[in-house]
Structure 1
Amino acid sequence: MPYTLVSFHAHPDDEALLTGGTLARAAAEGHRVVLVVATTGGAGSASREVLARGPLAHQRQAELERSAQLLGCARVVWLGYQDSGMPAAPSAAAPAAFAAPAAFAAADAGEAALRLAEILRAERADALTIYDPAGGYGHPDHVRVHQVGVRAARLAGTTVVLEATLDRGVLRRALRIVSRLPGVPAGFDPARVAGMYTPREALTHRVDVRRHARTKRAALAAHASQASADAGSGLRLLTVLLRLPYPVFRWALGTEWYVEHGRAPGQPLLDDIFASLTR
């Protein structure tokens, strides 16, 4: 039975990094896949050459449309908020401030949830992907995706809500391998992810997307602006991933991880994001 999956993301390229294989697999299996993106990623970084071509937000929109096409998405919806950027760590005395008044992280969560709920109802969504409560690595827009997504699913009655995340232990092992490759900057130190994403014991799904690894890689490559960097600025994450030999890429990114709301963690982890519906 075909289902409708709505995948909610903060910026262009997030869809490919965390859920690209899942979206490609769902589409290939005959399900309807709808991609909802909160911002155009205009606060992202890029090389001077890329910025000289025109507004970064416009370039990233076009890149995401190409990525969505490769992944088999039937529809892309932009919510139109501004990218909040990644501010310095706030304190009690100086909370995070966002330069853009329309920044997604500063937007009214209730209003954004109503907008997303309208899409869920219109699509008769069976499942929704969001991020974990900490937004994986703490980006304020990713945290907002979690908050808005939870509220929208409740409003729309979408019963299956899946937090896209990473297995923290697997991530550390992968970074140990990647950090040994020539030319990889010190920023890929495995110790940096000690408190990020999700420990294995809290996960519910381990989705095998190795058959769709080439599609996922192509979707990542579509976000060319985010693989650009000026001389001396160090390698970007996307650059490192796209430089991996394909067998290493398939091993490192051939599994995608989720926590399903209302489902107790257990072993073995589920491979089917629609398992609760088919049951």
Structure 2
Amino acid sequence: MSATPDNPTKSTIVFLHAHPDDEASQTAGAMARAVAEGHRVVTVFATNGDHGELPALGLGEGETLVDWRRREAMASAEVLGVQRVAWLGYRDSGMTGWAQNLLEGAFHGADVDEAAARVAAILDEEEADVLVGYDWHGGYGHPDHVKVHGVVHRAAELAARRPRLLESTMNRDLVRGFYEATLAAGEADSGFNPDGPMDDGNPLGTPASEITWQVDVSGYLPQRRAALEAHRSQATDIEFMLSMPDDFFAAFFGREHYIEPGLDPATRPSMQLGWPFSG
């Protein structure tokens, strides 16, 4: 459903995510909103999530964790309305410094041009208008997330028709506000500090002053919650998110943040409220 002279407001949007469940926690609101507004949404997963958590009740006979996580990803896509799910098939690289970083087939070690060419082929098939990846350090430094950043930039260059490129990020200032509010309310300090070193030693996400777009997705919180619930096997992160009080969940997930590369930060206003997903 690419934009055309007869249909200028509808876009095809391709999201490249590192692992199944990343779409639920990072871009589910924009995905659900885009579908509701008539756009075509495609999700591409770089890895199979094969270093994720095993489901609490165990796997079925003959079933692998990859089978399970792919099924969860399809359930998430269904509740979000995603029209196509594609897989690059790389192995999950694990966190920074893990032995899995160096395993054959791990996304971390993949040739950027090869991976980007596979993404570009999907962009061409879809005549994509918009391609969404991650910021320069993948939000929190996970090797596969960092890899997504380089791959989407190269894929945009290789595509027959260059798409608009956006980078999903986390608003460090917003997260800091939540962190400070929990401490002020007397909650025990969890030790999580968005200004502290994440997996790669850098702070979380991006300062608000460096973010291009803030997207209102507050009308799609039920879809966000359902997408997270589809990935319940990944209990450490997912259960924390689902256990948030409703008002905290709404405040945290009611906005998403994106960087649009190529715009001069010196001449654009910081963090505009808008909808950047039209081609």
Q: Which residue number in structure 1 is paired with residue 110 of structure 2?
A: 107
Correspondent of 2:208 among 200, 204, 208: 200
Unaligned residue ranges in structure 2 (runs of 5+): 1-8
Q: 1:172 to 1:52 in 2, by over 3 A?
A: farther
Native 8 Å contact 2:95 2:101 kept in 1: no
| Alignment partner, residue 222 of structure 2 | 214
Going from structure 1 to structure 2, the CA distance change for 1:207 and 1:117 (only over 3 Å counts) comes to same
Q: Which amino acid in 1 is paired with 2:260? A: E
Question: What is the percent sequence identity of the aligned residues?
Answer: 44
The 8 Å contact of residues 215 and 273 in structure 2, kept in 1 or not, is answered as: yes
More helix by share: 1
Work out whether 1:167 is the aligned partner of 2:167.
Answer: no
Is the CA contact 1:87–1:97 (under 8 Å) kept in the aligned structure 2? Answer: no
User: Is 2:140 the partner of 1:137?
Assistant: yes
In the superposition, the TM-score normalised over structure 2's length comes to: 0.86
Pairwise CA distance, 1:48: 5.8
User: Paired residue for 1:123, among 112, 121, 126?
Assistant: 126
Q: Does 1:250 align with 2:239?
A: no
Report 1:43-192 matches (<5 A): 43-46=51-54, 49-50=57-58, 54-88=63-97, 98-156=101-159, 157-177=161-181, 186-192=190-196
Partner of 1:3 in structure 2?
11
Given the alignment, which residue of 270, 274, 278 partners 2:277? 274
How high is the TM-score relative to the length of structure 1? 0.86
Q: Cα RMSD between the aligned structures?
A: 2.4
Cα distance change, pair 97–242 in 1 and its aligned pair in 2 (3 A): closer
After alignment, is 256-265 or 47-56 more displaced?
A: 47-56
* Shift in alpha-carbon separation, 1:48–1:245, aligned structure 2, 3 A: closer
SS of the residue corresponding to residue 217 of structure 1 reads helix
Distance 2:58 2:85 in 1: 24
Moved more, 40-49 or 137-146: 40-49
Bigger mean CA offset, 110-119 vs 192-201: 192-201
Q: CA deviation at 1:78?
A: 0.5
**Alignment CA distance shift 1:74-1:48 (3 Å):** closer
Q: Deviations over 1:158-184 (max 9, x none)?
A: 231000001111011223345688997
Q: Deviations over 1:119-153 (max 9, x none)?
A: 00110100010000111111110011111110000
Structure 2 partner of 1:41: 49
In structure 2, how many angstroms separate the alpha carbons of the residues matched to 1:15 and 1:137?
15
